[in-house]
Amino acid sequence: METQGQRHTQDPETSDSVLVQQALAGNQEAFEALVSRYKKSLFALIYHYVGEYHEAHDVMQQVWLQLYLSLATLRPHLHIKPWLFTVARNRSLDLLRRKRLLSFSEVETGNEEDKAASLIATPDTSPTPEELAERHDLQQDIQRAIQALPHKYRSVVLLYYGEQLNFSEIGQALNMPVSTVKTQFHRAKPFLRAVLTAQLHITSVQA
């Protein structure tokens, strides 16, 4: 027979902090509820970094293990989603370092990115990415456009559009100042707009 505590754990309105406290008290269902709540978005973020299905699953299991082992040390009322995304990002980058694939951050330079942005950016009379998506239902196109962004900007845009994190939460997840998050986001928008506009043109021609 289902108990009141079990119903409370399964309630989608139950806050993350309550589930953390219940899990810390030994309620396995509370921990499973946290896993169920974030497993899809967490896997999507990890896969975005590592690009391989089985490796992404391995990294995700490491994240859940770290959460379980960290329950006793988490601050009360901690926003668990940015925490999970931070751990997922760090674990993913650790994997890439081990595979000796992490070269983009050393190769990219701010000057090259600024030049590219200035070449693409035009007077802002064209539709925003949000408007283009609303008009043409371009969820898949947006995902492809995000993948085409420089990696430095990609994470910020993915968390903003894909996971609906605000700038403060993105800063926590990526361990960077909010001002840097905002700068990278606004620099990414001309790239995103250009790619989406090109995709719209291709779609209209093919149609």
Q: Tell me, what CATH number does 88's domain have?
A: 1.10.1740.10
Looking at the structure, tell me whether residues 157 and 201 fall in a common domain. Answer: yes
Exposure of 200 in the CB half-sphere (CA atoms within 13 A):
19
Mean per-residue pLDDT, 137-162: 74
Record the pTM. 0.55
**Do 94 and 60 share a structural domain?**
yes
DSSP character for 126?
A: S
Domain boundary among 45, 72, 98: 98
Its domain, for residue 167, covers: 108-206
Domain shared by 68 and 44, yes or no: yes
- Say if CB 203 and CB 138 are below 8 A apart: no
Give mean pLDDT, residues 38-64. 89
Q: Is residue 141 part of a domain?
A: yes
- Within-domain flag for 139: yes
At 144, which CATH number?
1.10.10.10
Question: Contact 9/19 with Cβ under 8 angstroms?
Answer: yes
The verdict on residue 113 lying in a domain is: yes
In the 8-state DSSP scheme, what is residue 78? -
Question: What does the mean pLDDT of the chain come to?
Answer: 74
Look at the block and give the residue holding tokens 């993350």. Answer: 16
Residues 91 and 159 in one domain: no
Q: Pick the closest to residue 38 from 63, 72, 5 (CA basis).
A: 63
Q: Tens digit of pLDDT for each residue in 12-22?
A: 668 888 898 89
Residues 82 and 123 in one domain: no
3-state secondary structure of 28: helix
> How many CB atoms within 10 Å of residue 204?
9
Average pLDDT over residues 114-143: 51
Task: Please report, for residues 29, 43, 200, the alpha-carbon distance to residue 57 in angstroms, rounded to integers and kept in the order given.
Answer: 21, 7, 34
For 113, residues 6+ apart whose C-beta sits below 8 A from its C-beta are: 150, 152, 153, 187
Residues 6+ apart with CB under 8 A from 99: none
Check residue 135 and give its pLDDT.
Answer: 47
103 within some domain: no
Q: 197 and 133 in one domain? A: yes
Same domain, 123 and 89: no
Measured N-to-C along each axis, helices 80-98 and 167-174 cross at an angle, to the nearest 10 degrees, of 40
User: Of 64, 98, 132, which residue sits at a domain end?
Assistant: 98
Let me know whether 61 and 115 are in one domain: no
Cα–Cα distance measured from residue 124 to residue 114, given in angstroms and rounded to the nearest whole number: 17
Last residue within a domain, chosen from 72, 98, 124: 98
Provide the number of structural domains found in the chain.
2
Same domain, 82 and 17: yes
Separation CA 141–CA 37 (nearest Å): 26
Residue that has been written with the tokens 């760090």 in this structure: 90
Domain co-membership, 145 together with 166: yes
Contact (Cβ atoms closer than 8 angstroms) between residue 202 and residue 131: no
* Total residues found in the chain within this entry: 207
193: closest CA among 109, 113, 114, 131?
131
Span 167-202, pLDDT tens digits:
888 888 888 899 999 999 888 888 777 777 766 555
